[in-house]
Amino acid sequence: MLEELQWHLYAIGVMFGLAYAQTTNSHIRVDLFYTGFRARTKYLVEIFGILFLLLPFITVIFLHSLDFVADAWRINEHSESPSGLPWRWLIKGVIPVSMAMLILAALSRLYRDTVLLFRGTD
């Protein structure tokens, strides 16, 4: 039971940490070329990445997770282990919530980068 609890708590931390990392710009990226770009080019790369990579990916995960969570809730999914956790649907419910938060964080970041692109200041 404690082993599964550890997995679930770690999953919750990671899922909600995604939105935090996006908001604070502390996510991992490959800065091979990015560090040498001018500020305007960085904003354009960020806007492109959010619009054409991040938001479509998050949207797909969010939409598909709704049925996933609904099915787990409907059957009152629990661990197959005799001493496992009884509410597996609860941990699965974190997926759409965290993806919604990540969408909000991405939209906030998109707005900020767009404003900074047109304003021209850092």
The domain ranges of the chain are 2-119
**Predicted TM-score of the model (pTM):** 0.87
- What 3-state DSSP class applies to 40? helix
Q: pLDDT tens-digit profile of 34-48?
A: 888 999 999 999 999
**pLDDT over 80 at 122, yes or no:** no
Q: pLDDT tens-digit profile of 51-77?
A: 999 999 999 999 999 999 999 999 998
| CA separation for the pair 58, 101 (Å, rounded) | 10
**pLDDT over 90 at 5, yes or no:** no
| CA separation for the pair 120, 117 (Å, rounded) | 5
Q: Which of 21, 52, 54, 42 is nearest to 114 (CA)?
A: 42
- What 3-state DSSP class applies to 88? helix
| CA separation for the pair 122, 120 (Å, rounded) | 7
